[in-house]
Amino acid sequence: MSFQSIDYILFLLAVVPVYWMLGLRVQNVMLLLVSYFFYGYLHPWFLVVIVTSTLFTYGFGTVIAKAVKPKRKYFLVAGVTGNLLMLAFFKYHEQLLSLWWAIAPRQETNGVVFNILLPMGLSFFTFQNIGYLIDLHRKRITSKANLLEFAIFVAFFPKLIAGPIERANAFLPQTINERRFSPEGVRDGVYLMVLGFFKKLVIADNTAVIAGKISLAAEPDFYLLWAGLFAMAVQYYADFSGYTDIARGSARLFGFKLSQNFNHPFFAVNPADFWNRWHMTLTLWFRDYLFFPLYAALAKQTQLVGVQIGGSVLVTFLLMGLWHGTGWNMVAYGVYHGVLMLTYVIVGRAVQTISPGFQLTNLLRVPMMFFFFMLGLLIFREPEPAVLIQMLSLSPGGASESEFVVASYLWGQAFYYSLPLWLQPLVEKWRQRMVQGWIVGFDTVVAGVLFLSILTMRSLHPSDFVYHQF
């Protein structure tokens, strides 16, 4: 079931009123059932995957929690490996089979083609499960959840398909403690959902059309290429942050609070700032469960700080790239951001050594970081190395005046749709300065304007959420 479908709205209208008439225990049973209904709505066999993953992880979690320290590590390795193997089987089976046939070419395939449908949200709830096991091993989970409560943690439908990637310590207490109906929570939830629908249906879907038109060009000129990358940047951010807003708003209707996943990344001033604003729960996951342990391991092997930091950063970003897929461009995308981060650290330290206190104005730093973000998207989207090199070799002087005019028109269209994203921080500041009585009216007016905009400006070519494929 997709968030932007009428089915989803009817689903919420049917479920929410009944949910608040029940006690905690029955609420939890209902949450799990409706989450499984949501997940299996189009492909019921997906339920086999998520139930298997839930039982496997909960079983190993129970063993880890009770095991003594020397043995706990072995159970952790087994639990994490099992989760990763399931993820690899569904997400990377084609690449793994290609590698197998390359190693063992004499074996006959008999024309068999493996085409296994990737269960939606697998990467997201697998990472949640791994984080849960690691936190148990580290004794950082204080809430003792039973199987029902843990199953809700895995399958809670608002976050199931594309996050946020929740931590057990933040989410499990919300399944255990009593939840009470709150008009304020409902109001906040509806406001977030309307905002998310606006981002998706008006901004993301309209800029997707612009980016799609440009991508169809056989040989785009310099200006057309960058107009397309700008439209793609707006599309991806509005699409994914819109999904997160709808997810957080839907959760609020049930008395749950999900983590913030975006914090206006277009205003980032450097690579570190960008990753603290973009897909924040994924960034924090890789930081806590990969970067820090890897850095600690390298620190034991070498005293060279450059190797410790450089190795940890590059490996972390490489795996972040592979999290999106196994194409060479995903590897290059991860390495690109790793090198960008290291360059920022090295250059920043050198500048501070030469001229302490020196810092560029944000009027320069924000456009520079946005340019680097768009360049990363070019690597992300282009699977052919030769085509990527050809695009990177384009020069402004190689375009005609008519091509410049067309590109300017498309860029202007994309910028027009992106305006709400640039203005959103200002609107949020206004809201924060208001007294409680005025916030209700302010939210009502803003939600009303967004709703009318959805009715009048939504794209005639709707598309699915981009991150459903991950």
Active site residues: 324
Other CB atoms within 10 A of residue 120 CB: 24
> What does the alpha-carbon distance between residue 105 and residue 123 come to, in Å, rounded to a whole number?
31
Angle made by CA atoms 377, 233, 405, in degrees to the nearest 5: 100
Backbone angles phi, psi at 148, to 5 degrees: -60, -45
Identity at 109, one-letter amino acid code: T
Element (H, E) at 93: helix 93-103
User: What long-range pairs does 406-412 form, CB within 8 A, spacing at least 24?
Assistant: 406/224, 407/221, 407/223, 407/224, 407/226, 407/227, 408/223, 408/227, 410/210, 410/213, 410/214, 410/224, 410/227, 410/228, 410/231, 411/223, 411/226, 411/227, 411/230, 411/231
DSSP 396: G
Half-sphere exposure of 403 (CA within 13 A, CB side): 16
| Of the candidates 265, 268, 271, 267, the residue with the CA atom closest to the CA atom of residue 346 | 271
DSSP labels for 236-301?
A: HHHHHHHHHHHHHHHHHHTT--PPP--S-GGG--SHHHHHTTSSHHHHHHHIIIIIHHHHHHHHHH
Backbone angles phi, psi at 111, to 5 degrees: 75, 10
| Of the candidates 274, 252, 207, the residue with the CA atom closest to the CA atom of residue 234 | 207
> What does the alpha-carbon distance between residue 84 and residue 86 come to, in Å, rounded to a whole number?
5
For residues 195 and 248, the answer to whether their CB atoms sit within 8 Å is: no
| Of the candidates 229, 210, 231, the residue with the CA atom closest to the CA atom of residue 221 | 229
DSSP labels for 319-336?
A: HHHHHH-SSHHHHHHHHH
> What does the alpha-carbon distance between residue 468 and residue 470 come to, in Å, rounded to a whole number?
6
